[in-house]
Amino acid sequence: MSDTLNWTKVSGCYTAHGGEEYAIIGSFKPASETYSAECVGATGSYKFIDDVGVYEFDPLPDTLLLCQGQTTSIGGSFLDGTYQWNTGDSDSTILVSQPGVYVLDVAIDDCLLSDTVVVIRPEETLNALPSDTLICQGDPLLLRIPMPGIFEWSTGETGNFISIREAGFYSALIDNECGEFYYSIQVEEELCACDPFIPNAFSPNNDGINDYLPGFLHCDFPYRAIRFQIFSRWGELLYTDDSGQVQHIRWDGAFRGKPLETGVYLWTFEYEYDRHGKTRKEIRSGTVTLVR
């Protein structure tokens, strides 16, 4: 601070990362490293003590209902900030008559604060939800209706979401400030699979028929091969493919360039697949007969 005649404003921005209980403001250096100036010939001395305020920045709700034909005001003033909406408006509040995502940025010196509200119409939200769907047998389906209100599901549950684990007809009655609304969905089950297929025999005799042992994955979901290996009956590793590509699995029945004898060999296949947002890893094993 080089200005000795006027007050110097000190400001900054800090974003909490969770768990903080206090904001400590002051000099963190020892007295030996703290300097003060004395006024020579001055008739008095002055001290300025400012108060410190901690304010929550949350001018917008997460979700706002907009009833049919309604216009509503969103936003609010925050200290001495300047305002910028994603609509191009620069007032602290704006009027909205259409559903959508509205973002407010407030700049205070070098701090930029932001908040978002999703404005929805109940009719349009319900029309965007599926009226029927398929689930994999044994997998739950989380069905959520993203709007506020009082919910009565055909299952007896009262939240804005339910977990569905079997086929059937499900419905919900929603009561909120815009009125009463009805939603229904028909859920069907299907058997989903993600299983490897390895032939149980092959004959690497260079006749052009079944000369290689291939690998296949029958999977209804995005998958990744991790490792395919062949072992002898005594557990000796004979072949490895870790390319990550199922189509690269091609064992020619040899070990270190030498053809192996007729016999039964053990294979293991490690892979993973994504199912409803979760990654699952599988390790399968089996046997294959090498015929000369």
So what's the pLDDT on residue 45?
A: 47
Looking at residues 35-51, what average pLDDT do you find? 55
Q: How confident is the model at residue 169 (pLDDT cuts 50, 70, 90)?
A: very high
So what's the pLDDT on residue 131?
A: 87
Q: Say which residue the tokens 């989903």 belong to.
A: 192
Domains 122-190 and 194-290 are alike in CATH topology: yes
So what's the pLDDT on residue 171?
A: 95
Q: pTM of the full predicted structure?
A: 0.56
Using an 8 Å Cβ cutoff, are 103 and 5 in contact? no
Return the exposure string of 121-133: e unless at least 16 CB atoms fall within 10 Å of the residue's CB, then b.
bbeebbeeeeeee
Q: Is the pLDDT of residue 47 over 70?
A: no
Across the chain, mean pLDDT equals 86
So what's the pLDDT on residue 174?
A: 95
So what's the pLDDT on residue 43?
A: 52
So what's the pLDDT on residue 175?
A: 96
Give which of 232, 214, 211, 233 is closest to 291, Cα–Cα: 211
Task: Name which of 7-16, 50-59, 183-192, 224-233 the model is least confident about.
Answer: 7-16
Q: How confident is the model at residue 252 (pLDDT cuts 50, 70, 90)?
A: very high
So what's the pLDDT on residue 154?
A: 94
Where do the structural domains in the chain lie, given as residue ranges? Answer: 63-120, 122-190, 194-290
Task: Name which of 161-165, 228-232, 278-282 the model is least confident about.
Answer: 278-282
pLDDT single digits (tens) 108-146: 888 899 999 999 999 999 998 888 988 887 778 888 998
Highest mean pLDDT among 9-13, 67-71, 77-81, 87-91: 87-91
Looking at residues 141-169, what average pLDDT do you find? 91
Q: Is the pLDDT of residue 51 over 70?
A: no
Task: State the fold for domain 194-290.
Answer: Immunoglobulin-like (2.60.40)
Task: Name which of 72-86, 241-255, 267-281 the model is least confident about.
Answer: 267-281
Taking CA atoms, 61 is separated from 75, 115, 193, in Å, by 9, 9, 42
Q: Is the pLDDT of residue 235 over 70?
A: yes
So what's the pLDDT on residue 184?
A: 94
Task: Give the separation between CA 186 and CA 169, rounded to whole angstroms.
Answer: 5
Q: How confident is the model at residue 98 (pLDDT cuts 50, 70, 90)?
A: very high
So what's the pLDDT on residue 41?
A: 53
Looking at residues 171-183, what average pLDDT do you find? 94
Give which of 102, 110, 7 is closest to 62, Cα–Cα: 102
Q: Is the pLDDT of residue 15 over 80?
A: no
The CATH number assigned to the domain with range 122-190 reads 2.60.40.10
